[in-house]
Homo-oligomer: A and B are copies of this chain.
Amino acid sequence: MSGRLAVVGLGAGSAGWVTPDASAALTEAEALYGYAGYLDRVPPRPGQSRHPSDNREEVARARAALEAAAAGVKVALVTAGDPGVFAMAAAVCEAIEHGPASWRALDVAMVPGVTAMLAVAARVGAPLGHDFCALSLSDNLKPWDTIERRLDAAAGAGFVLALYNPLSRARPWQLGAAFERLRRHLAGSTPVVFGRAIGRADERLIVTTLAEADPANADMSTLIIVGSATTRVITRDGLASLVYTPRTGELGP
């Protein structure tokens, strides 16, 4: 059986962040699967079939890619960012665990990439320079109560927070509720960064504070970083501010 499946992370929006391993996996593939918006970032190649799907069909997409690989096709399943961070790698593993026994014998490889929080952090300085958490605000697959408990635990223990999937048309209130929750633990002056479509032509970066943070500045293409009590902002004449979290620092009493 010659089929195989590579789950490929393109990195956040910029072509400059697509790794050589990711490029090689895309070149070698006979069939590309993925959300249509991500497939659009991959240059066409003759003889390679393309199978775009809707953004919310993650398990169906994983199964379709595995079926093709099991039939002998060299498949690349394309994701933005890193496939292992709130993306397709977990959906593929879920499908393997619950699918036919033959899928466990498949050659499956995950190709890592620059996930959104690293791209946003790099643009603004080093807000993830110390201990941090990555948390999805989507309550499609877990209860909101669990998300609140994680916000409490992370902010209370001095982790910086990277918030994925902050809101969507179907989930309009979650980011505002998360900011409210975090204000119980963190001062209003805590730095907050909104990074939208980082690396793309329509990239937008906002540095603000927890007191001023406006959920209306976010959409599903936005990654939000909420600092800890030690996160600092360096203002610079005529240049963007730098936001960073020092490598030192006690949690406090």
Cβ of A205 < 8 Å from any Cβ of B? no
Known: A132-B133, A247-B91. A16 touches B19 (CB 8 A): yes
Q: What is the minimal beta-carbon distance from A84 to any residue of chain B, in angstroms?
A: 4
Q: What is the minimal beta-carbon distance from A70 to any residue of chain B, in angstroms?
A: 14
> CB-nearest residue of chain B relative to A97?
B234
Task: List residues of chain B with CB within 8 A of the CB of A21.
Answer: 14, 16-17
CB pair B239 A84 closer than 8 Å:
no
Q: Can you give 12 contacting A-B residue pairs, CB < 8 Å?
A: A14-B21, A18-B19, A85-B128, A89-B244, A90-B246, A97-B234, A105-B239, A113-B118, A128-B134, A135-B159, A142-B249, A143-B251
Q: Which residues of A contact B (CB under 8 A)?
A: 11-12, 14-21, 24, 58, 82-86, 89-94, 96-97, 104-105, 108-115, 118-119, 121-123, 125-136, 141-143, 145-146, 149-150, 152-154, 156-159, 232, 234, 236-239, 242, 244-251
